A and B are shown apart, each in its own frame.
Chain A
């Protein structure tokens, strides 16, 4: 058994990785984080054990890049100085949802993204996040609760 050509690996997982990144870093930064993710993968690729679960592997790298991006953004972006940029409209025009998902604490955000954006089972969410299935369920539950509250208060504001 040998590794597939990187091009085939990229083609097979690009949609899931992109979807995950849109949910975690937002549509504006998804392209850059996507390329960072696959560049890191390409660097390590020839030394990879051909038996590796490639989907879990690339989603783990994407998760790390999303966290790095979050740290960088907090350090480097003085929010008070930057004008509030409008998010590119999602097809049904719910930019508030993007923001609400990204404002969740990291574990909840990752659990929500893996579960609802990538349609992973809780067992797979746990594997990707390196936690127990119960912890994954709890994070997603907490995340859902917060999202519901956040969206409700946004509607009241509007």
Chain B
């Protein structure tokens, strides 16, 4: 029927996108969002930030695949993953201040749900390294309870799902070499010079 074609010509893409954006606040009020995420602009590119009710669970660099990042959260935390910007207002502001040189400590909580065992202990030890100072793989391994496991500590830091806020960029080789970095060494250098270490 020719008349029914009219139904097809409504701009449903835009209208449904707007209606979908209105879903997040309602879902938040009902406590149905287990993982909220939003994109955050930064000098290091567009970051993907995700938070549970306990805190920041994921911060992904632009080179990480967005779909895979969200799939991992759905699989390991909860499939109730929704773009819900309001929950991340706090961390977005803190990141802005950090990159603007106005903040040395993140107050927004961290949820270590994506790590386990020794890896999580290494990351928790790393979270305590203050702004402007650095540590070594051996030191964080020791603080995580096994001073000889510095290689494993390196792997743990390489799997950090909350870079910048859990500052794995502050961990260097004992000899003074930069070591590695998930986001690439340029980003590690950028962060260390922002903090006045390099």
Question: Per DSSP, are chain B's interface residues mostly helix, strand or loop, or mixed?
Answer: helix
B interface residues, Cβ below 8 angstroms from A: 1, 3-4, 6-13, 15-20, 22-23, 26-27, 30, 32, 35, 37, 67, 70-71, 73-75, 78-83
Q: How far is the CA of A107 from the CA of B54 in the complex (A)?
A: 46
Q: How large is the interface on A (under 10, 10 to 19, 20 to 34, 35 or more residues)?
A: 35 or more
Given A34-B19, A39-B27, A148-B1, A92-B9 contact (CB < 8 Å): yes
Contact status A42-B80, CB under 8 Å: yes
Contact status B74-A2, CB under 8 Å: yes
Chain A residue nearest to B35 in the complex (CB): A5
Whether A106 sits at the interface, judged by CB under 8 Å, is no
> Which of A10, A19, A98 contacts B12 (CB under 8 A)?
A19
Query: Which A residues are in CB contact (< 8 Å) with B80?
Result: 6, 42, 45-46
Question: Per DSSP, are chain A's interface residues mostly helix, strand or loop, or mixed?
Answer: helix
Contact status B74-A3, CB under 8 Å: yes
A20 CB to closest chain B CB (Å) equals 10
A interface residues, Cβ below 8 angstroms from B: 2-8, 10-11, 14-15, 17-19, 22-23, 27, 30-31, 34-35, 38-39, 42-43, 45-46, 90-92, 94, 97-98, 101, 112, 116-117, 144, 147-148, 151
